[in-house]
Amino acid sequence: MCTVHKRGNVFVLTLAGEDEHRLNPTLIDSIRSALSEVKSQSSSGTGISALITVAQGRFFSNGFDLAWAQSSGSKTGFMERLSHMVNYFKPLLADLFSLPMPTIAAVTGHAAAAGFMLALGHDYVLMRKDKGVLYMSELDIGMTLPDYFAVMFREKVASAAARRDVLLRAAKIRAEEAVKMGIVDSVHDSGEEVVEAAMRLGEQLAVKKWNGEVYGEIRKSLYPGMCKQLGLINRSVVAPRL
């Protein structure tokens, strides 16, 4: 499950517990509920807020809950549950892409497959260098990518070589290499320092007098392919400060 609290103008969404934070329908619902709460609270204030997502334990998120899918007891049931998670995850990403504020993933542990995508769905990704990897496991476990995963990589990771190594070598990417590949924005010595740096960045962004709706629409315009996959429509917002 997850919790949300606010420090100044910065919302902190925490994936709670020491488990792998597998993205099953229950956790996806919990995250979406938290994002809805953040959006509701931010709309009642002035100026812009920021969101930080962090996880407790060794994992930021280890992807979809394949054990839950396997517990169906049949190959057909497994495929149905897996397809359900793939489709159910898309609205969560749509929530992030349309959130009217800057978003920061504080990756303090492993982020794999859909968990990697969850981190990449934020505007900024910060990572610890002493522990944790970014890893797209689909090639190793014998599963193709959902279309929107591939689109996310094309629009979020500029380097074709980086995309090749992540997706076609199933490389386990540590923080410093992820910075060189243009996936991660900054690297820090420990989990605590990642969160502290994320808070500093969030506070710097939250003092801006930006309009949150304008911010969200500009974000959507940067990733047209992903927004098409997520069913998000751009709209014009004019909030002049002249």
Q: What pLDDT was estimated at residue 121?
A: 98
What's the number of CA atoms in the CB half-sphere (13 Å) around residue 163?
Answer: 13
Contacts of 103 (CB under 8 A, 6+ apart): 50, 51, 52, 53, 96, 121, 122, 123, 124
Q: What pLDDT was estimated at residue 236?
A: 75
8 Å CB contact between 165 and 236: no
Q: What pLDDT was estimated at residue 11?
A: 97
What is the DSSP annotation of 160-224?
Answer: HHHHHHHHHS---B-HHHHHHTTS-SEEESSHHHHHHHHHHHHHHHHTS---HHHHHHHHHHH-H
From first to last of its 242 residues, the chain has per-residue pLDDT tens of 899 999 999 999 999 999 999 999 999 999 999 999 999 988 755 678 999 999 999 999 999 999 999 999 999 999 999 999 999 999 999 999 999 999 999 999 999 999 999 999 999 999 999 889 999 999 999 999 999 999 999 999 999 999 999 999 999 999 999 999 999 999 999 999 999 999 999 999 999 889 999 999 999 999 999 999 999 988 877 666 65
Distance CA 226, CA 146 (A): 12
Contacts of 90 (CB under 8 A, 6+ apart): 148, 229, 230, 231
| Sequence-distant contacts of 137-144: CB under 8 A, at least 24 apart | 137/63, 137/112, 137/113, 137/170, 138/113, 138/167, 138/170, 139/167, 139/168, 139/169, 139/170, 140/170
Q: What pLDDT was estimated at residue 209?
A: 83
Which neighbouring-strand residues pair with 134? Answer: 111, 173
H helices of the chain, in order, are 25-43, 66-70, 75-98, 114-120, 138-141, 147-156, 160-168, 175-180, 191-206, 212-222, 224-230
Handedness of CA 104, 108, 113, 115 (dihedral sign): negative
Q: What pLDDT was estimated at residue 46?
A: 61
Distance CA 159, CA 66 (A): 30
